[in-house]
A and B are shown apart, each in its own frame.
Chain A
Amino acid sequence: AQTVTQSQPEMSVQEAETVTLSCTYDTSESDYYLFWYKQPPSRQMILVIRQEAYKQQNATENRFSVNFQKAAKSFSLKISDSQLGDAAMYFCAYSPPTNYGGSQGNLIFGKGTKLSVKP
């Protein structure tokens, strides 16, 4: 079964600096999707960034970028120029291909990393 591991329960960063959140996953599939979701205190789950496994180029969304290492099954999130509004829980999630037997199309989440941003 696929698993997602976030080894950093909590992280802290100074405002305007850069922080990297780690995520590793386990799968035997060659095609899949990876996501980072942000959950602020409001509890709303907000998509931050997404990566297709078949794409070698790392995804980027403004100040957010990923380092996708397929062979190492690693998918880290880098937040540049951190802002106070970036403080939240960050969840890494894996999605199997749609023809996967069992729970098709659902997201498998890590336990999250709580990010604090210091002014």
Chain B
Amino acid sequence: NAGVTQTPKFQVLKTGQSMTLQCAQDMNHNSMYWYRQDPGMGLRLIYYSASEGTTDKGEVPNGYNVSRLNKREFSLRLESAAPSQTSVYFCASSARGVLAGEVDTQYFGPGTRLTVL
């Protein structure tokens, strides 16, 4: 039982390049999330998916797109990377959909450290 996995662990991009961060969970969770963590800051929500087939913007969605490919997988895409997107990206999942009437615990992946030059 791997929990939440993320690939890659590290990535260096040049300004203007694109890439996709992959996230998968094997806990049969309904909800999945993408956060970014900048130095001296807590995590901030980029996008989330309450259930398969739905996605919604979080606090800092600009410059990103997401795809909930199936119940297990939730990818984050940077179409044209900018230095301001240098950060550590975390994927998380939780058992219940946000419409289920109760919040439960989010479990996090190990993170992806992205540097944009």
Contacts and interface: CB of A to CB of B under 8 A. Distances in A.
A and B associate in one complex? yes
Interface of A: 4, 33, 35, 37, 42-47, 50, 91, 93, 95-99, 103-107, 109-112
Interface stretch (B11-19, B63-71, B75-83, B103-111): B103-111
B24 interface: no
A106 B33 contact: yes
Interface of A is mostly: loop
A118 B28 CA distance: 40
B8 to A, nearest CB: 14
Q: Which among A35, A46, A95 has the greatest number of chain B C-beta atoms within 10 A?
A: A95
Interface residues of B, number: 33
Contacts of B100: 98
A109 B44 contact: yes
B48 A44 contact: no
Given A91-B43, A98-B103, A112-B42, A106 B88 contact: no
Given A44-B108, A45-B108, A106-B33, A98 B45 contact: no
Given A91-B43, A98-B101, A111-B41, A105 B107 contact: no
